[in-house]
Amino acid sequence: MNPTGYPFREHELYRSLVDAADRIRRPEYHLRNLVQDDRRWSRFSRRGGGLLFDFTRQRIDEPILELLLRVAGDLEILPRFRATTRGEPVNVTEKRPALHTAARDFSGQALMVDGTDVVRRLEQVRDQFRRFSADVRSGRITGSTGRAFQDVVVIGIGGSHLGTEFVATALAPFSDGKIRLHFLSNVDIHNFGLIASRVDPETTLWIVISKSYTTVETLANASQAVAWMKAGGVDPAGHLVTVTSEGSPGDSRDTPVLATFHMFDFIGGRYSVTSAVGGVPLSIHLGYDLFEEFLRGAEKMDRHAAGAPAEQNLPLLAALISVWNTTFLGYQHQAIIPYAAPLSRLPAHIQQLNMESNGKSATADGRLLAEPAGVVIFGEPGTNAQHSFFQLAHQGRPFPIDFIGIRRPFYDQYEARYQGVTNHQELWANLLAQATALAAGQPAPEDPARHFPGNRPSSLIVLESLDPASLGSLLSFYEARTIMEGYLWGINPFDQFGVQLGKTVAGRIRQTIARSNADPGRQLEFDDPLVRVHLERLFGR
């Protein structure tokens, strides 16, 4: 197996796929016609890992699926995914493994990396926050003045924020409301100020999450929190918890805290919600047992992703469709539309997961791609999105959609009917109607304002319910799909060198401001005149 792989564009079947894309654009292959095939459902839907995946309304047919699967086979996408879960150093540019799957590996089997059993290490951390969260929830562990904690503020950004927010929002119906969760992610002081106005220093626990413990936003927010706690008469050491790497500045006597939970460099931020990053806050907020159910759901899909043959493999099929839509059919964006209000933050989490993983222009072996990889991901829940941007979906620029549906709702006691159906039935009527209408359209060339061209592709992912295990399956599905997409594009989905330049320039601007703060007589000098003009307006004297 080639450790870095190569882009599917370099595969000998690339030309055949381009030809197939030309073919599928012909009017007789309009989705309206493709879906007429009696075998459409049996050939283009699959079950696995806890989910149902319906891709009957994608612009593919059997010859195209076969070509895509042959490319996936030759590029060894599944063997490379299995190598990923076995701890091989697939993050080639940073020379380390990518082992988020180990965070939910309950197989009991060891997984050795550099002489350490990482499954065991992750289990120890899990045990640690299982006990800690129980103690916080029961009031055995209290704040410095002896009062039980009622609010938890997660200080973390990007990978240390969005996954936990997505899961907490999704599982809100399961929360007993005992301990509220807040997210202090943005260095914008409005984020801090608003939280500070709503919580009591005596009953608030702050969880600072940063692998290196040098993330500027997170440390700046932690400083504000510490100053505020001191002003509020509590001892920060009794109100702080850190989630960080072993030996980081957050894992030191210089940072006195209630507890420190370790995270590891073999789990990247955007893949970390099943580690202590999500585990500590979610266990405190929801109770550890629900968090473990979530992990077990993810594990179920992990096994499917690593074990199911290509033809039956949900994440692989989804990855192939994504690449097909982007590179061959030219769609530059994809929407994620969960027909489930609690999944309101899923699009933002997958936006991060996918765009940060695959928004690249360099191959894993260091060459420039012919065209950039990755797509723009966006979305809002349905039916809301129908009343917002679906006008453009139907009649403007088309984009592929992942519809997500929930078979059984958490709240089944509300059964008032409007127009003869329950809310849950109305929701499904709308989901199915949108997928159908986008695919089939309704041509009216004589009346362009009411002309629906159709041929808009979509998939439908169905969860049995919005319970923690189903949510874990859904998360793992998107993680595996993202990684397989990256492997198809021939890039490394685990690095993110693209965020460096902005940090470097921000550092230079920060130094300029800091020098002016330290010496108020000093001019705000900066080489870029367009930056300087703003700095003078903002902070000049």
Cross-strand pairs, 259: 241
Residues 10-39 touching a second copy, rule: CB under 8 A, are 35, 38
In three-state secondary structure terms, 176 is coil
Residue closest to 84 by CA, chosen among 102, 104, 105, 99:
99
Instruction: Please tell me the distance from the alpha carbon of residue 129 to that of residue 200, in angstroms, as a whole number.
Output: 24
Pick the binder of a second copy from 27, 368, 521, 541 (CB under 8 A): 368
Q: Name which of 245 and 516 has its Cβ closer to a second copy.
A: 516
User: By CB under 8 A, is residue 275 in contact with a second copy?
Assistant: no
Give the pair of three-digit tokens for residue 439: 């695919």
Instruction: Please tell me the distance from the alpha carbon of residue 423 to that of residue 418, in angstroms, as a whole number.
Output: 8
Closest distance of CB 53 from a second copy, Å: 13
User: By CB under 8 A, is residue 360 in contact with a second copy?
Assistant: yes
Is 503 tagged catalytic?
Answer: yes
- DSSP string computed for 12-41: TTHHHHHHHHHHHTSGGG-HHHHTT-TTHH
**Candidates 118-126, 133-141, 151-159, 241-249; binding stretch for a second copy (CB under 8 A):** 151-159
User: By CB under 8 A, is residue 212 in contact with a second copy?
Assistant: no
User: By CB under 8 A, is residue 402 in contact with a second copy?
Assistant: no
Q: Name which of 73 and 540 has its Cβ closer to a second copy.
A: 540
Q: Which amino acid is at 6?
A: Y
Q: Name which of 111 and 353 has its Cβ closer to a second copy.
A: 353
Residues 286-305 touching a second copy, rule: CB under 8 A, are none
Residues 220-249 touching a second copy, rule: CB under 8 A, are 220-221, 223-224, 226-228
User: By CB under 8 A, is residue 403 in contact with a second copy?
Assistant: no
Residues touching a second copy, count (CB under 8 A): 157
Instruction: Please tell me the distance from the alpha carbon of residue 273 to that of residue 164, in angstroms, as a whole number.
Output: 6
Angle at 476 between CA 470 and CA 478, to 5 degrees: 105
Pick the binder of a second copy from 146, 445, 520, 521 (CB under 8 A): 445
Which one from 356, 380, 479, 485 is the annotated catalytic residue?
356
Closest distance of CB 214 from a second copy, Å: 10
User: By CB under 8 A, is residue 370 in contact with a second copy?
Assistant: no
Is 11 tagged catalytic?
Answer: no
User: By CB under 8 A, is residue 419 in contact with a second copy?
Assistant: yes
Is 28 tagged catalytic?
Answer: no
Pick the binder of a second copy from 134, 310, 329, 513 (CB under 8 A): 513
Contacts of 374 (CB under 8 A, 6+ apart): 354, 355, 357, 358, 359, 360, 489
Residue closest to 20 by CA, chosen among 273, 303, 329, 289:
329
Binding mask 169-208 for a second copy (x = CB under 8 A): ---xx-----------xxxxxxxxxx-xx-----------
Other C-beta atoms lying within 10 Å of the C-beta of residue 107:
9
Residue closest to 119 by CA, chosen among 78, 163, 160, 85:
85
Catalytic sites, residue numbers: 356, 387, 503
